[in-house]
Amino acid sequence: MLLFKGAFGDAFSWQNTLQRAAPLMLTALCVAIPYRAGLMVIGGEGALVLGGLACAGLPYLFAPPAGWLGTALVLLASAAAGAAWIALAGVLRQYRGVNETIASLLMGYLAIGLFKHFVEGPMRDPESLNKPSTLPLMPEIQLGLIGDYDVHWGLVWGAVMCVLAGVWLYGSTHGFATRVVGGNARAARLVGLPSHRLVITACALGGAGAGLAGGIEVAAVHHSANASLIVGLGYTGILVSFVARHNPLAIVPVAILFGGFGAAGSLLQRRLDLPDASVLVLQGFAFVLILASDAWRGRLGDWWQVRAASRPLAAPAVAGAPLKQEGAA
């Protein structure tokens, strides 16, 4: 009960929840969109970190114009950095056959190494003594709060991006083609779809989401790139995407729920005097249960099983998977 109260009880906790939900929506997109194209990308953390770096780094190259144009420019830079990073994983997969799950995980570490190198080396603000940071963004281009609430515009960006991704996937020809490639790459090639290009585009779009998440975190919350950006938002995004069944529209409520988990933590800590780690335990159990509940979905009705059986399978190797489960049951 207190958990619910801490997450959604009053205006203050709602604000806290929504603030935490914004980056999760975007990092979840980094999993969901490539998944629709048949790729399992888990390197959102890397794209997020580089996005944050790009956002903080653009003012080093030239002074961005003040006002909304400057904000748009730094956010665009962060999205571009993330897009390029994840698209690289897509290129490796399509042209070299490197498993994208593994490659994106490795590239995440590379990105964090690069990030730390630049933040503690060439781009370090000499005034940040015990916590290396880049020079802070000018106040004019920081992302502001929505009206009088303590929620920054990143939430709107996140929600709008999710809706756009949903519309693109389910309402446009290009999105449909991407889903065909994800469903069956061979069939897609047979009907003449440029599968390489579609997959890489999907990766770039997902990466742009995660990069934007990093940019928003920098522009709205931290105001400079430093180690507090690396808190595993990319990994939580994977969970969000899985719980939302990789549906961009479902990501918005799921991310808000997950944000609520985080927000409730601090309340539990204050009210019940529990150590902060108890929230982590609770979260862990909740995630495990949510994921495990997938297994019972099929038992709810026969129609689901029929649908699952007739669902197009990603690759010949996957054809063994449903069989395997029936064999085990």
Partner 1 sequence: MSEVSLLGNMGDVLLAVLGGAIRVGTPFLFVSLGECLTEKSGRINLGLEGVLVLSAMAAFGGAYLSGSVWVGVWLGAVAGGLLAMLHGLLCSLPRVNDIATGIALMLLGAGLAFYLGKPLIQPQAPQIPSLELGAWSDSPQIQAALRINALFPIGVVLALVMAWAFANTRWGLIVRMAGDSSDAARALGYSVNAVRVWATTLGGFIAGLGGASLSLYYPGSWNEGLSSGQGLIAVALVIFARWRPVACLWAALLFGGAGALGPALQSVGVGWGYHLFNAMPYALTLLILIWTCSPKRSLQGAPMELGVTR
Does residue 85 belong to the site contacting partner 1 (CB under 8 A)? no
Of 75-83, 184-192, 206-214, 320-328, the window that binds partner 1 (rule: CB under 8 A) is 320-328
Residue 87 sits in the site that holds partner 1 (CB under 8 A): no
> Least distance (Å) from partner 1 to the CB of residue 169?
17
Binding partner 1 by CB under 8 A: which of 112, 205, 225, 268?
112
CA torsion 201→207→208→211, rounded to 10°?
Answer: -170
Q: What are phi and psi of 43, to 5 degrees?
A: -105, 25
> Two tokens at 270?
């204050």
Using CB under 8 A as the binding rule, whether residue 172 contacts partner 1 is answered as no
- 228 lies in the site for partner 1, by CB under 8 A: no
CB of 105 to partner 1, least distance (A): 7
Nearest approach, Cβ of residue 208 and partner 1 (Å): 22
Closest CA to 235 of 62, 47, 90: 47
Taking alpha carbons only, the member of 138, 111, 164, 161 closest to residue 218 is 138
| Among 32, 103, 177, 256, interactor with partner 1 by CB under 8 A | 103
Pair of tokens at residue 42 = 């888990």
Instruction: Name the residue type at position 285.
Output: F
Q: Judged by CB under 8 A, which of 73, 110, 145, 163 binds partner 1?
A: 110
- What's the CA gap between 133 and 129, in Å, rounded? 9
* Residues in region 253-312 near partner 1 by CB under 8 A: 275-285, 287-288, 290-292, 294-295, 297-298, 308
| Helix or strand holding residue 114 (H, E) | helix 100-120
CA angle 239, 311, 187 (to 5 degrees): 105
Please state, in angstroms and rounded to a whole number, the distance separating the CA atoms of residues 12 and 70: 30
Stretch in the footprint of partner 1 (CB under 8 A) among 107-115, 160-168, 187-195, 211-219: 107-115
Q: Is 300 exposed, middle or buried (0-12, 13-18, 19+ CB in 10 A)?
A: exposed
Contact between 124 and partner 1 by CB under 8 A: the answer reads no
Report the distance separating Cα 216 and Cα 113, nearest Å: 21
Shortest spacing between CB 316 and partner 1, in angstroms: 11
Residues that bind partner 1 (CB under 8 A): 35, 38, 40, 42, 92, 94-99, 101-103, 105-107, 109-110, 112-114, 116-117, 120-121, 235, 238-239, 242, 275-285, 287-288, 290-292, 294-295, 297-298, 308, 314-315, 317-318, 320-321, 323-325, 327-329
